[in-house]
Structure 1
Amino acid sequence: MTADRAFGEAFRVDLLDLFAWRRDVRRFRRDHLPEGTFERLVAVACLAPSVGLSQPWRFVSVADAVRQQAVRASFERCNADALRRQGDDKAGLYARLKLAGLDDAPCQFAVFADRETEQGHSLGRLTMPTTIDYSAVMAVHTLWLAARAEGIGLGWVSILEPDLVAAALDVPPAWVLIGYFCLGYPLEPDDAPALERAGWERRCDPASVLLVR
């Protein structure tokens, strides 16, 4: 590939379609992924940009049943608390939402940011150290798109206790949880967010987030 390579119109259309069909999947088929799929997707994720080429992302595959159950218990506690906090107008809808794929997804993993990584020699993060965390998020998004291109869905489980998840997975203290994820084939692929379909929220107009100074 040359530095001045331009991608064609057909590719750009497909890429936009990929963005539109990238969903936060909550309902999964239980079919196993082909052997080596997760490792291959992690390799693609490592192509993501990172501050100072620090590559601070750390992927932890969670296959042990005891560790999975510890994460499941954390989710149940947090989800019950979230339900109690909903107003009367939202409580019923919240209770009907399926907010995790922990029971069905064939693959579970966590992503951490190593805030003490020496790679990159602190370039670009002295004044904004949180760019380490942002870099790990970029890796997640890269994996997310690569998975969707293969018809594989990703679900981000954010209703968790980060410290307890880190303890359950026995990771170094400097590793900060970015997210816990379920990976597998979607039960019902869709180009509209599940929360939008359920009437929980709607996408905003892009013009509303653009500020000109």
Structure 2
Amino acid sequence: MGESFTEAEREALYKAIFSRRDVRGQFRPDPVPDDVLRRILLAAHHAPSVGFMQPWNFIVVTDPAVKARIHADFAQANEEAAALFEGERRSLYSRLKLEGIRDAPVNLCVTCDRERSGPVVLGRTHMPAMDLYSCVCAVQNLWLAARAEGLGVGWVSILHEEALKGALGIPDRIVPIAYLCIGSVSHFEPVPELETKGWRRRLDLDDLVFRDRWEQR
């Protein structure tokens, strides 16, 4: 287990990282095989977590009626979001496809149980949000594993939290972290779609790295 990666293994890891995309419109209807779904969930379950509390749960959604309910909330939230932009930005926003809820064969909600390890958690004593960040690490693990399996993943964040919890029967104390659309895709874009469509460009790494103190290069 402690052996170094081979060069091919290392390159495969970086390939998954650099070719991962937020997929919205390329989903195929083919079902995700159960063994593949289990593998990517197992990858998520092996994410690092503060105090080893493993605060995540995974709600697998395949029922079209449940998807339709969540998509209806997305449609409402998306209208609200569009109204926050102005001029050409609003026009561009309205042309973007920002979800694949009904298209993807599998939807997945990743949640955080903030009470799983009791009131005092090793490593969370002074940074209480670390359990939430741990669940985000689980999302990233799943996303990279899915990419290695040839599956696309899209993160839908334009949702009302309470509506999502109601649709999925999530208890009040549980925090939804991510609502993901998962499935095989026709293709992966060579660069992020929002960059292609002119929404944002990738920032230069050298502009983001400081040494020892903020803004000291």
TM-score by length of 2: 0.92
Is the 8 Å Cα contact of residues 49 and 135 (structure 1) preserved in structure 2?
Answer: yes
Is 1:34–2:11 an aligned residue pair? no
CA contact (8 A) 1:20 1:191 kept: no
**What corresponds to 1:20 in structure 2?**
18
Contact 1:53 1:120 in 2 (8 A): no
1:67 shift after superposition: 2.3
Aligned to 2:84: 85
SS of equivalent residue, structure 1 residue 85: coil
2:157 is equivalent to residue 158 of structure 1: yes
Q: Residue 112 of structure 1 aligns with which residue?
A: 111
Contact 2:28 2:183 in 1 (8 A): yes
1:99 counterpart residue number: 98
Tell me if the contact between 1:162 and 1:177 (Cα under 8 Å) persists in the aligned partners.
yes
TM superposition shift of 1:62: 1.6
Q: Quote how far apart the aligned CAs of 1:9 are.
A: 2.4
Q: How does 1:1-213 map to 2 (within 5 A)?
A: 1-2=1-2, 5-27=3-25, 28-118=27-117, 122-212=121-211, 213=213
Distance (Å, rounded) in 2 between the aligned partners of 1:205 and 1:109: 32
User: Which stretch shows the higher mean deviation, 137-146 or 84-93?
Assistant: 84-93
Runs of 4+ in 1 over 6 A off after TM superposition: none
Deviations 1:134-156 (A, max 9, x none): 00000010010001001101000
Structure 1 residue ranges without an equivalent (≥5): none
Name structure 2 gaps, 5 residues minimum: none
Kept after mapping to 1: 8 A contact 2:23/2:152 = yes
Structure 1: how far apart are the matches of 2:68 and 2:126?
39
Counterpart of 1:23, as a letter, is R
3-state SS, counterpart of residue 207 of structure 1: helix
CA–CA distance in 2 between the matches of 1:39 and 1:87? 43
Q: RMSD between aligned alpha carbons?
A: 1.6
Tell me, in whole angstroms, the C-alpha distance in 2 between the residues paired with 1:109 and 1:119: 26
What are the superposed Cα offsets for residues 90-118 of structure 1, whole Å, 9 maximum, x if unpaired?
12211111100012100011011111112
Q: Distance in 2 between matches of 1:57 and 1:68?
A: 21
What is the letter of the counterpart of residue 21 of structure 2?
Answer: R
Q: Are the counterparts in 2 of residues 53 and 119 from structure 1 also a CA contact under 8 Å?
A: no
Q: In the alignment, is the contact (CA less than 8 A) between 2:45 and 2:138 conserved in 1? A: yes
The answer to whether the Cα contact below 8 Å between 1:22 and 1:191 also exists between their aligned partners in 2 is no
Moved more, 163-172 or 34-43: 34-43
CA distance in 2, matches of 1:204, 1:177: 29
